[in-house]
Amino acid sequence: MPALVARQLRKTYKNGYEALKGVDLSVEEGDFFALLGPNGAGKSTLIGILTSLINKTSGSVEVFGHDLDREPETVKSLLGVVPQEFNFNLFLPVEEVVINQAGYFGIPRREARERAEYYLRKLELWDRRRSEMRLLSGGLKRRLMIARALVHRPRMLILDEPTAGVDIEIRRAMWDYLRELNAGGTTIILTTHYLEEAESLCRNIAIISRGSIEAVGETADLLSALDTETFVLNLKGRIAQLPELGGFVLESIDDSTLEVQINREHTINGLFDALSRNGIEVISMRNKQNRLEKLFLDMVDQERGRAP
């Protein structure tokens, strides 16, 4: 059974902005899944709908076979949520934050205390259990939100930009813990605009841009699409037949235009040598960027722009 199925999800905000334009998404149980996209793509809106913080305009959501509209409480109990904003009482001691959350799910106080200790130790927050929330650094607050999200033992954990603004060392420690959780069977979905985060953590990725899913697939497959570049060549003469150029994938657009895919292992020099050997002369050439590639480049620019 899939952990999550979203069908034709749409969200139009009150001001008329269409943040989700009919999103279909399926996530298998046990998966570690990234919703990857640039800022403003609609990731938080999607997560907000899954976690009942935002009302959808239309479409449906099922979590482990339970419909969000018909069984909202069951869906809530199956999900642990780590939102982007710190949404708790800043004067509450760390331990209470977790114990109170267990209370919302009807867990008796004694057991709540035991679970709070377990997760606070796991997330290396036990020494800080009596500190007020407001005294924690950003990274520690984020870890506390993870502990809080886990205290009712959800089958699926959803994290919205879990490592935004978290320094590298803490980010790595969080990654390790998320991997451990996933290995223990918890399905994890996270949103991120860090390519590296999706690449190193997630088995599957959906790429979202402007409210639509642009691509879904295994991380390795999607990223290998970035390892080829396509060039469009305008030829001097006409060619009747596609030449065989070892290692290069050619396609003829018309009898004087070729498209060539170049794997990053090859060089453009190599391409031109091969063309010359076949008596093909090139007048001009341009790089044909596919949409996915453009999206990735925008994201990389964003990452660079945000780097400290």
Helix H, strand E, coil C: the string for 14-38 is CCCCEEEEEEEEEEECCCEEEEECC
Nearer to ligand ADP, 33 or 119 (CB): 33
Nearer to ligand ADP, 85 or 169 (CB): 85
How is residue 254 written in tokens? 């018309």
CB 87, min distance to ligand ADP, A = 15
Interacting residues of 19 by C-beta distance below 8 A, sequence separation 6+: 11, 12, 13, 42, 45, 211
Please, which of residues 7-36 interact with ligand ADP by CB under 6 A?
A: 13, 15, 17, 19
What one-character DSSP code corresponds to residue 40? T
What one-character DSSP code corresponds to residue 58? E
Place of tokens 């999206």: 295
Which residue from 8, 39, 89, 276 is in contact with ligand ADP, where contact means CB under 6 A? 39
Of 10, 40, 12, 14, which Cα lies nearest the Cα of 25?
Answer: 10
CB 39, min distance to ligand ADP, A = 4
CB 36, min distance to ligand ADP, A = 10
Measure the CA–CA gap between 152 and 304, rounded to whole angstroms. Answer: 37
Measure the CA–CA gap between 201 and 219, rounded to whole angstroms. Answer: 9
CB 42, min distance to ligand ADP, A = 4
Of 221, 193, 200, which Cα lies nearest the Cα of 295?
Answer: 193
CB 207, min distance to ligand ADP, A = 11
Please work out the total of residues on this chain that contact ligand ADP, with binding judged by CB under 6 A: 12
Nearer to ligand ADP, 13 or 91 (CB): 13
CB 165, min distance to ligand ADP, A = 14
Under rule CB under 6 A, residue 162 binds ligand ADP: no
Measure the CA–CA gap between 118 and 129, rounded to whole angstroms. Answer: 12
Nearer to ligand ADP, 15 or 241 (CB): 15
Please, which of residues 43-62 interact with ligand ADP by CB under 6 A?
A: 43-45
| Backbone angles phi and psi of 193, in degrees to 5 | -115, 10
Nearer to ligand ADP, 84 or 204 (CB): 84
Binding mask 223-242 for ligand ADP (x = CB under 6 A): --------------------
Nearer to ligand ADP, 44 or 182 (CB): 44
CB 50, min distance to ligand ADP, A = 12
Q: What size, in residues, is the chain?
A: 308
How far is CA 114 from each of CA 118, 127, 144, 308, rounded to the nearest angstrom?
A: 6, 15, 16, 39
CB 38, min distance to ligand ADP, A = 7
Q: Which stretch binds ligand ADP (CB under 6 A): 39-47, 63-71, 85-93, 197-205?
A: 39-47
Binding site for ligand ADP (CB under 6 A): 13, 15, 17, 19, 37, 39-45
